Amino acid sequence: MNKLLISNKNDPYYNIALERCLFKNAADDDIILYLWQNSPCVVVGRNQNILLECDTDYMTKTGILPLRRFSGGGAVFQDLGNLNYTFIANEKYADDEKFKLVLKKVTGDLNVNSVFTGRNDIHCQGKKFSGYAYLSEDQNYMYHGTMMIDVDLDMLTQVLSPSILKIQAKGIESVKSRVINLQQINKAITVENTIKLFGKAFEQVYGPYQVIDYQGQDLDDTYSLLSSSRWIYGQCPAYTLSLEKKLKNALVTLNLEVTDGVISRVKVYTDSLEPDFAAKCEKILLNSLFEPKNILFRLESLI
Amino acid sequence: MEIKMPLLPGGKMGTVGKINVKVGEIVAEKDELAQVETGKGNKTIKAPAGGKICKICVCEGQKIASDELMFEISEAEANCPEANCQCACQEKQSENITTDLCVIGGGPGGYVAAIYAAKQGLKVTLIEKGALGGTCLNVGCIPTKAFVKSSEVCRTIKEAPVFGIYPQGDFKVDMEKIVAHKDEVRATLVGGIEYLMNKNKIQVIKGAARFADQNTVIVEAEKTYVIKAKDYIVSTGSKTSKIPICGIDLPFVMDSTAALSCSELPKSITIIGGGVIGMEFAFIYRNLGVQVNVIEFLDKLLTMLDSDISSEILQIASEAGIKIRLSSKVTKIQPAINDQAVVTFEKDGKEEIVVSDKVLVAIGREPNLEGLDSEKAGLEKGPRNKGLQVDEGMRTNVEHIYAVGDVTNIIQLAHIASRQGLVAVDNILGKNCQMDYHAVPNVIFTSPEIASVGLNEDECQARKLDYVAARSGFAANGKALTMNETKGYVKLIKDAKTNKIIGGSVIGVDASTLIAALAIAVQNGLTEENLTETIFAHPTVGETIYEAALGLGIGALHE
């Protein structure tokens, strides 16, 4: 059955939880198109290290939310100027070319001259306005991507520059691409008319569809998982990092090894005059969850 | 059994991402073993069958081709879970406890049940991970009432000239002292419960409990306690609800728990949520001289109240200078360059902002099952997967496990938790008791206070009952007038056929005290005549109940 769901919420944790539930519970013969928009957030790939991808200090300051998705690929910044699309189908019926055909019809109707590149991006005028990723699990296949219509590019540039530089990690790093908003190409393009065109193109390619909603028990649990620090910061390959923090009356350099998001080894160097200050710092940090915004706060509390 | 990398289309290489297991770990069928990135896709490698991970042949970040060996799993060792936790268990001492009743959570549901059970001869063990007294005593009812009293004193001083009293010079509000006063009250009460636990020979274990199975609870404290009880009562309470609004983690954003220990008084505050917690804090801060804004998502404040009472408190709050926006959805919180909070919300499709020093998020509380492993005991959850499902006798779906209080998600009130605790213990003792929710009093400590019991008018209409409602205002009451507290009224509702009082509300001075009389009337099915025949002392605010009762029949004498 062909199904269309347009999320009425902008909460990114909710939207990705909903996507996950649609994916998990898709019937054998389902072709689902799910359209959704998130309030400002950074979404990293399944195997990425969020610290390596973005400026977490800037995110805390501006209230941009951190997320980890289930599919692979790189980090993206999103706000309400972006539209996300997701195709879900059984592996037997999933056909990237058909999904791309829907996308080509949408961009064609928007009068955008689009080019699909080898890196799974869609370009116009040599710049990227859409990137996509996929996931296969238990016979189900998901193909999803972003479409930049009027994204805040200043914020995007700021947030996707990592603030912690001295980090050695084995995660998957993003490759930076030059980007463009569809509105820069054609002022008349809005999120609303793009959503309408998605419905139209979906029908042209797959035939009539049914508009659905989803309310399942598993939504709450997936939501909790997605919004937990252990998932966001912990579900990435182990890494070591070194960072300098200025406390009220001391400069500390922290050398950390982080496994499953937990600080597994720590060495602290400091210019503090208090003799056992470094040891105290080490004690408080060891075996605790590594969250960049909390570290400074917890060290301050020692003073 | 060997786990190999599945086929990668086009002979491409993948990259090993997160490895989710360790050598020696026991996995079940379909457990995730690792993630592999292929192009921009992610492939989850799962265990085809249960077993012990003997060998991991890949490492994170490594390139991998199709058919390459990734894991070796020994299926034979699937059923020896001890292998997994040997190191953790051997170092710590453990103590086995056998008891009649194990109560998990020492709030007003749990500790009252524990005392009641102990008094009837049961051997009781109570587990508490924080302080005895729970939310109510530590971060809820009692601490907020200490704040309410401080704020009322402040208001009284400001109003003193009405009574001919002129305080000399400026007075100041010392928030640190207000917090200290609250902590003293709290400490006294916590000490009181500790005394009662000792006196009733209840064993108190400090730590977090989790179910290992239906018959075993484990507490990891300075040693590992393994508790086997004939019956269990789960009274793990509730936790503050969270909403993922942008900026919710900014330093100036507090929840009610943080507000109760915040020792600086802001000049202005924006409260998200116009429910009980939000409105109590709104009046606390307003009476202390703070500029207060309240943003409520629904179209009325305090949704559990009758519409007329909700409108009355809206008007009183507005007159007191509290700025309120209803039907408004907060979309984000941001810091301004001077470190103030900027809250953005949508009302009628338009975006508005409000600026303040602090933000208090008071959107409610939800059942707390964190770390309890209730599924290991096979406990069923309630609707929408929240809390534990119980019947009217507080029984869960597991015969010897009961649940009481906020964790049941029925009514979040301390006095309901306590009563549910008593009902649970009675059922454990074979008395077959049920909860009766038809006369539950509910008090909100705004200024003035609001209290209600039984049915309200909106509920009567929804149930299509034939009812009569009557109101009598405090403006006509001599005692209220002397106190300069003339706002509000008493409202009574009777069943038109039987004349029985089925509900009542009070908004106004001493509502918290007056509601006791109405609760007795509703609980015991007293009629309008029973009230009009009762002599109410003069001059007291209680006379307003009498006047309202007359209003149900011949009409009030003084209106």
Condensed to tens digits (0 to 9), the pLDDT of residues A188-205 reads 999 999 999 999 999 999
Instruction: Report d(CA B191, CA B138) in Å as an integer.
Output: 12
Query: Which residues from chain A sit within 8 angstroms of residue B42, using beta carbons?
Result: 45-47, 70-73, 133-135
Q: Are residues A182 and A296 in the same domain?
A: no
Catalytic-residue membership of B415: no
Same domain, A228 and A243: no
With contact defined as beta carbons under 8 Å apart, do B208 and B218 qualify?
no
Give me the pLDDT at residue A107, please: 93
Chain B contact set for A47 (CB, 8 A):
15, 17-18, 35, 37, 42
> Is A96 in the same domain as A164?
yes
- Helix or strand run (H / E) with residue B472: strand B467-473
CA B376 to chain CA centroid, Å, is 24
Strands B224-234 and A115-116: unpaired
Residue B9 has pLDDT above 80, yes or no: no
Shortest CA distance to A12 belongs to which of B18, B336, B332, B37?
A: B332
CA distance B267 to B175: 12
Measured CA to CA, the distance from residue B434 to residue B413 in angstroms comes to: 17
- Please, which pLDDT band fits residue A172 given cuts at 50, 70 and 90? low
- How far is residue B461's CA from residue B515's CA, in Å, rounded to a whole number? 22
pLDDT value at position B80? 45
Q: Could you give the percent of chain A with pLDDT greater than 90? A: 41
Share of chain B above pLDDT 70, in %: 96
Give residue B88's pLDDT: 38
* Angle CA B155–B301–B523, to nearest 5: 90
- Return d(Cα B522, Cα B452) in angstroms, integer: 11
Superfamily (CATH) of domain B442-551: FAD/NAD-linked reductase, C-terminal dimerisation domain (3.30.390.30)
B246 touches chain A (CB under 8 A): yes
Do residue B42 and residue A70 have CB atoms under 8 angstroms apart?
yes
CB contacts of A61 in chain B (<8 Å) are 335
Kindly state whether B249 is in contact with chain A, defined as any CB-CB distance less than 8 angstroms: yes
| Same domain, residue pair A57 and A155 | yes
Q: How confident is the model at residue B11 (pLDDT cuts 50, 70, 90)?
A: low
A298 phi and psi angles, rounded to 5 deg: -70, -35
Domains B253-363 and B442-551 share a fold: no
**Cis bond leading into A237, ω under 30°?**
no
Contacts of B179 (CB under 8 A, 6+ apart): B260, B261, B262, B263
The CATH number assigned to the domain holding A291 equals 3.30.390.50
pLDDT at B83: 43
What are the chain B neighbours of A137 within 8 Å (beta carbons)?
43-44
Least confident segment among A1-5, A125-129, B141-145, B215-219: A125-129
Q: Are residues A155 and A277 in the same domain?
A: no
Q: Decide which of A203, A218, A234 is a domain's last residue.
A: A234
The residue ranking higher by pLDDT, A167 or A118, is A118
pLDDT in tens, B371-410: 999 999 999 999 888 999 999 999 999 999 999 999 999 9
Residues A261 and A223 in one domain: no
Contact assignment for A62 to B35 by CB distance below 8 Å: no
**What average pLDDT does range A8-31 have in this prediction?**
93
Within 8 A by CB and 6+ apart from A283, the residues are none
d(CA A102, CA A4): 13
Residue labelled with tokens 């649940």: B403
List B181, B438, B538, B558, catalytic entry: B538
Provide the token pair at B384. Answer: 């929408």
DSSP B298-343: SSSSSTTS-HHHHHHHHHHHHHTT-EEE-SEEEEEEEE-TTS-EEE
C-alpha B311/C-alpha B300 separation (Å) is: 8
> Does B434 touch chain A if contact means CB atoms closer than 8 Å?
no
Residues in Cβ contact with B221 at an 8 Å cutoff, skipping those fewer than 6 apart:
B205, B206, B207
Entry field: residues in chain A? 303
Q: What CATH number should be reported for the domain whose range is B253-363?
A: 3.50.50.60
Average pLDDT, chain A: 86
| Distance set, CA B143 to CA A283, A285, B242, B262, B445 (Å) | 33, 32, 21, 12, 12
The boundaries of the domain holding residue A262 are: 239-300
Nearest to B239 by CA among B420, B358, B383, B412: B412
Please say which residue of A182, A210, A234 terminates a domain: A234
* Domain finish residue from A190, A209, A234: A234
Cα separation, B518 vs A96, in Å, equals 69
Same domain, A84 and A169: yes
pLDDT tens-digit map of B515-532: 999 999 999 999 999 999
Least confident of A74-83, A157-166, B540-549: A157-166
Q: Do A95 and A211 sit in the same domain of this protein?
A: yes
- Give, in words, the CATH class of B92-239+364-437: alpha beta
* Segment B67-76 mean pLDDT: 84
- What average pLDDT does this structure show over B97-119? 97
Tally of CB atoms within 10 A around A118: 6
pLDDT score, position B418: 97
Mean pLDDT for the stretch of residues B479-499: 96
Same domain for A184 and A135, yes or no, is yes
CATH number for the region B2-85 comes to 2.40.50.100
Question: Domain map of chain B by residue range?
Answer: 2-85, 92-239+364-437, 253-363, 442-551
The rounded distance, in Å, linking the Cα atoms of A13 and A69 is 9
B336, B246 contact by CB (below 8 A) = no
Which residues 13-32 of B are in CB contact (within 8 Å) with A? 15, 17-19
Q: What residues contact B275, with CB distance under 8 A and at least 6 apart?
A: B296, B301, B302, B303, B362, B363, B364
pLDDT in tens, B234-243: 999 999 988 8
Domain count of chain A? 2
If you average pLDDT over every residue of chain B, what do you get? 91
Identify whether residues A84 and A221 lie together within a single domain: yes
Is there a contact between A126 and A68 (Cβ–Cβ < 8 Å)? no
pLDDT of residue A47: 84
Query: Same structural domain for residues A207 and A259?
Result: no
Report the complex ipTM.
0.71
| pLDDT given at position A166 | 45
Q: Do B38 and A72 touch (CB under 8 A)?
A: yes
- Mean pLDDT for B475-499 is 95
Token pair listed for B427 = 């059922």
Chain A residues in contact with chain B using a Cβ-Cβ cutoff of 8 Å:
10-14, 39-40, 45-47, 60-65, 70-74, 119-120, 131-138, 170-172, 217, 220-221, 227, 235-238, 293
DSSP B430-453: T-------TT--EEE-SSS-EEEE
β-pair type (A127-137, B41-46): parallel
User: How big is the A-B interface in CB pairs under 8 Å?
Assistant: 105
Average pLDDT in the B345-367 region?
A: 93
- Predicted confidence band of residue B86 (pLDDT cuts 50, 70, 90): very low
Whether the pLDDT of residue A169 is over 70: the answer is no
Q: Which segment of A113-117, A269-273, B185-189 scores lowest on mean pLDDT?
A: A269-273
pLDDT at residue number B84: 44
A81 & A197 share domain: yes
The DSSP H or E segment spanning B504 is: strand B501-508
Q: Does residue B76 or residue B20 have the better pLDDT?
A: B20
Q: Is the pLDDT of residue A228 over 90?
A: no
Nearest C-alpha in A relative to B19: A237
- Give the integer Cα–Cα distance in Å for B71 and A116: 37
Q: Is B92 on the interface with A (CB under 8 A)?
A: no
Say if residue B500's pLDDT is above 60. yes
Residues composing chain B: 559
Alpha-carbon distance of B322 to B26, in angstroms, equals 58
Q: Are strands B41-46 and B32-38 parallel, antiparallel or unpaired?
A: antiparallel
- Predicted confidence band of residue A67 (pLDDT cuts 50, 70, 90): very high
Kindly report the CATH number assigned to the domain that includes residue A27.
3.30.930.10
